[in-house]
Amino acid sequence: MKKQIYYTIFTIVLLLSKTVSFSQNINYISPNLYPSIINKNFYEINKIQFIGANKEIEPLLYGVISSKATENNLPFNIFVSFYREFDRNPSMPTFIQHQFKLGLMKLRDNVPFFEQSIAEGDLISLKNYYQINGYHFANIHYEFVNSPNKIENILKFEIDEGNRYKIDTLIYKGLETIDTNTMLKINQVKVVKSGKFFDELKIYQEVKFINSILRNNGYLFANFQQPKVEIDTVLKTDIVSIEFNAVQRYKVGRIDFIDSSATKQPPIANDMKIKQLDFKPGDWVSEKLLNSSKDNFLSLGTFELVAIDSSSRFAPCKDSVLNFLVFLLYRKEQEFNFGVSLNQTRIDNFVNLGFEVNYRHRNIFNAAQEFSPFANIYLKDLGTVLSNQNFEFETQIGFKFAQPLLWTVDNSRISFISSFSYSYRLLDNYFKLSSFNLPISFPILFQKATYFNRASIDLNFLRENPINFEEAKTNAFQSAKDVNDSNNVLQAFILYQDLFNYLNKGQFYLFTSNTIGVTVSGDTRNNPFSPTKGYYTSLGIDGWDPIFFQSSISGLSRFLRLQVTHLQFIPLTPTTTLAIKGKVGAINLLQNNNSYVPIDRQFFCGGPNSVRAWPSRQLRYTMFVSDSLKNSSTYSFLENFVGNGVLVEGSVEFRFGFPRLPGLNNALQSFIENLRATYFIDFGNAFHWYINNIDYQIAFWDYLTKLAVGTGIGVSYETPIGPIRFDFAFPVFDPLYIRKPFSTMQFNFGIGNAF
């Protein structure tokens, strides 16, 4: 015997109108239910049970229904115990009972009382869930009864699942006229096979993929009708047929632009607009390329609104040709800004706080180029300043220039970003560095779905000059106690001594550092500030640029630098995230006795974004400790401004959020929701300190066995620019055995998560 049922995946009402009724099963509500302490006219659901459900399906059913069991926290359970005891004692003063009831009501909010209409709606939801998973004739009813063993009410859904039907045949109609190439693509996404259990969601997913392929291959207005399911009650199988409407295939015809702005400003040149389009006249119309073209326009930063639609406003449409109209609403072209600025440098991850003034022009040469002169003063590495009072500032003046789209290569978009700046930097109140900096960057966005979705080619031309270097070195020598101490001072300044000598040879050198770098990265994080899932991976290599080998611009920075970073974010519960970080880096000096590594390319370990149980930049594996140099100020300078050649770091962090607590006003609930708590374990160390007096050898296994370990807890508050956090960390293992386990507490302040 066969029974034919017509229903749509998308319309539950139509689905249920053809199913077997529940009349053969009677729903039951007990007259002996326990009334709620909060309101004796209602009954709470203390427990929900599914009787007869498959053990694999049962955990999923709680998310299908709307009825919810009461979730009592520990304080509430304590109050309930006392209240019930008081209620049994006739001699208990009414006043005390009343106060306990008030306490109970403050601990509860939005109590989910039992409602018959909701329970009956749950029957429909459960029936629908079983239907879409092949249990076409499942019978379900509910009972709401009191427990015989304890004071609680139980909502029971008794389920007779019946047979689960399999797919006999899946038939697609209306695809007979589809071209061969498109049909090849459609056949590649077909995964629903005969003999498999009926699964409506998988069928829907396959249908959606097929419709998407049609829309992206010229059949822009393709759609499909309601699926038809023929049920064979003897063989327990289904024949599913779906009819597509994809008769007309279109090519792109004429493309026109409409520019709109609130103020009179020149529009972007047509050539630049055309470059943003991922389609051209003569191509088959693709919904995907229409959307990606819209995203390309918005990524320029010049437009407030972009709309792309078919239109016959400027030319008549033919049967197989669609003309398109691109509507562009411009943002304000010029802006002047002054205020407090917070940023994070790309390489060393320092959080910097300062004041900045800038002027921005978003379309200076009519091709969406951005030009922005600026001046600022920054307190460098804010977390370090607040945690151990090392003071460093930098002031800059210069300009930035960006061309959002320079080239397209195989659907990848290449941009251009550059700036020129002069800066003046104080290093730990020791000596000053003035510098001219010319970074040139070519960011690349890959359009294809790959693990790595971005890349960057970076050129950097830098001229640094230690202004009072000889004076700083003389002051350090005056504090030396003996010849050995003087030698330590000399070695301490070796990197900056190379730089000073290079600039004072009697010949003019335009740059002191001339580097090139390549970075590829993959980023699937769901939030750039506080991610709860996804990954971020970055592989970068940079160093001396041999392309510009002329002596006047080749520079002193003869090094090669490699850095690998991977971050992983795993949601454990709706409010708990496991965050994992791994980071390694190494620098190879190409000329050991005549080389200089800019300070922002050296490796440092310790601090708010590193191993938090050690002060910022002060963790390294070295035998050159503070007693080796009797001049404490010189050693402090070395720790903070002479880096290392190798870095190994890692962290495991549990980030806990807080749900909305009942009984509180909305403002307090929102405040609690934005709070975060963390427990973390950090490990890492820096090796090969650039003071050139290495009196020990480092074996390969030392990079693993000499890692410092710290642990701690933190608290943070989410803001629109990311979390503001306070971390309290303790050393667990010090490979130099200077810090004993849990002997000291290191306080860290940070803006943004540690990673």
Which two structure tokens, joined as six digits, stand for 166? 């399999």
Amino acid making up residue 24 = Q
What confidence score (pLDDT) does residue 412 get?
A: 86
- The mean pLDDT of the chain is 83
- SS3 for 234-275, per residue? CCCEEEEEEEEECCCCCEEEEEEEEEECCCCCCCCCHHHHHH
615-618 contact pairs (CB < 8 A, 24+): 615/384, 615/387, 615/388, 615/746, 616/381, 616/383, 616/384, 616/387, 616/388, 616/390, 616/640, 617/384, 617/390, 617/643, 618/388
Sign of the alpha-carbon dihedral angle for 452, 453, 459, 463: negative
pLDDT tens for each residue of 116-132:
999 999 999 999 999 99
Average pLDDT of the segment spanning 402-419: 90
Domains defined along the chain, listed by start: 2-70+111-160 (3.10.20.310), 166-245 (3.10.20.310), 251-330 (3.10.20.310), 338-751 (2.40.160.50)
507 band by pLDDT with thresholds 50, 70 and 90: confident
Average pLDDT of the segment spanning 357-371: 92
pLDDT at 374 over 60: yes
Q: Which of 94-98, 211-215, 504-508, 716-720 has the highest mean pLDDT?
A: 211-215
Cα angle 22, 148, 63; round to 5: 45
Sheet with strand 303-310: strands edge to edge = 251-260, 321-330, 303-310
Separation of alpha carbons 100 and 91, rounded Å:
16
The residues with which 29 forms a beta bridge, in sequence order, are 144
The single-letter DSSP state of residue 314 is: S
pLDDT at 236 over 90: yes
- Helix 74-88 to helix 94-106 angle (10° resolution) is 160
User: Tokens 């993959």 sit at which residue?
Assistant: 522
CB 546 within 8 A of CB 528: no
Separation of alpha carbons 267 and 257, rounded Å:
11
Average pLDDT of the segment spanning 134-156: 91
What confidence score (pLDDT) does residue 360 get?
A: 92
Cα angle 507, 510, 512; round to 5: 95
What confidence score (pLDDT) does residue 36 get?
A: 83
What confidence score (pLDDT) does residue 1 get?
A: 46
pLDDT at 367 over 80: yes
What confidence score (pLDDT) does residue 692 get?
A: 60
Q: Which of 189, 249, 188 is nearest to 214 (CA)?
A: 249
23 band by pLDDT with thresholds 50, 70 and 90: very low
pLDDT at 61 over 90: yes
What confidence score (pLDDT) does residue 310 get?
A: 87
What confidence score (pLDDT) does residue 8 get?
A: 40
Number of Cβ within 10 Å of residue 89's Cβ equals 11
The answer for residues whose C-beta is within 8 angstroms of residue 365's C-beta and 6 or more apart is none
Q: Give me Rg for the CA atoms of the chain.
A: 34
How do 228-232 and 2-6 pair as beta strands? antiparallel
Residue 218 gets the label, from left (phi > 0), alpha (psi -120 to 50) or beta, of left
593 band by pLDDT with thresholds 50, 70 and 90: low
pLDDT at 7 over 60: no
CB 581 within 8 A of CB 538: no
Number of Cβ within 10 Å of residue 272's Cβ equals 20
Provide, rounded to the nearest whole percent, the portion of the chain with pLDDT above 90: 46
The answer for residues whose C-beta is within 8 angstroms of residue 436's C-beta and 6 or more apart is 420, 421, 422, 462, 463
The single-letter DSSP state of residue 177 is: T
What confidence score (pLDDT) does residue 727 get?
A: 93
Q: Residue 295 in 3-state DSSP?
A: helix
Which two structure tokens, joined as six digits, stand for 650? 């890692």
Average pLDDT of the segment spanning 23-27: 64
Q: Of 244 and 625, which is predicted with more confidence?
A: 244
Number of Cβ within 10 Å of residue 143's Cβ equals 17
DSSP of 715-744: EEE--TT--EEEEEEEEEE-TTS-SPTT--
User: Tokens 């629908």 sit at which residue?
Assistant: 128
Q: Is residue 632 packed enough to be buried (19+ CB in 10 Å), middle (13-18) or exposed (0-12)? A: exposed
Separation of alpha carbons 233 and 327, rounded Å:
56
CB 686 within 8 A of CB 643: yes
What confidence score (pLDDT) does residue 24 get?
A: 47
- For residue 704, what is the enclosing H or E element? helix 702-705
Average pLDDT of the segment spanning 368-378: 92
Separation of alpha carbons 292 and 192, rounded Å:
30
What confidence score (pLDDT) does residue 492 get?
A: 58
pLDDT at 480 over 70: no
Q: Of 436 and 83, which is predicted with more confidence?
A: 436
Alpha helices by DSSP H, 586-699: 632-641, 666-673
21 band by pLDDT with thresholds 50, 70 and 90: very low
What confidence score (pLDDT) does residue 504 get?
A: 81
Average pLDDT of the segment spanning 456-477: 82
User: Tokens 């259990």 sit at which residue?
Assistant: 197
Which two structure tokens, joined as six digits, stand for 559? 């090094």
Q: Which of 211, 209, 207 is nearest to 199 (CA)?
A: 207
pLDDT at 202 over 70: yes
| Least confident window among 273-287, 321-335, 374-388, 584-598 | 374-388
Amino acid making up residue 325 = L
Q: Which of 146-150, 292-296, 465-469, 477-481 has the highest mean pLDDT?
A: 292-296
**Would you mind telling me the total number of residues written for the chain in this entry?**
755
Q: Is residue 34 packed enough to be buried (19+ CB in 10 Å), middle (13-18) or exposed (0-12)? A: middle
| Least confident window among 88-97, 122-131, 217-226, 320-329 | 88-97
Separation of alpha carbons 2 and 228, rounded Å:
14
Q: Which of 593, 536, 577 is nearest to 679 (CA)?
A: 577
pLDDT tens for each residue of 524-560:
998 888 899 999 999 999 988 877 667 667 778 888 9
The answer for residues whose C-beta is within 8 angstroms of residue 94's C-beta and 6 or more apart is none
Q: Which of 381, 405, 105 is nearest to 272 (CA)?
A: 405
What confidence score (pLDDT) does residue 414 get?
A: 93
Percent helix, strand and coil across the chain, each to the nearest 5:
20, 40, 40
pLDDT tens for each residue of 256-297:
999 998 878 889 999 999 999 999 999 999 999 999 999 999
* Residue 75 backbone phi and psi in degrees, to 5: -60, -40
Cα angle 528, 530, 534; round to 5: 65
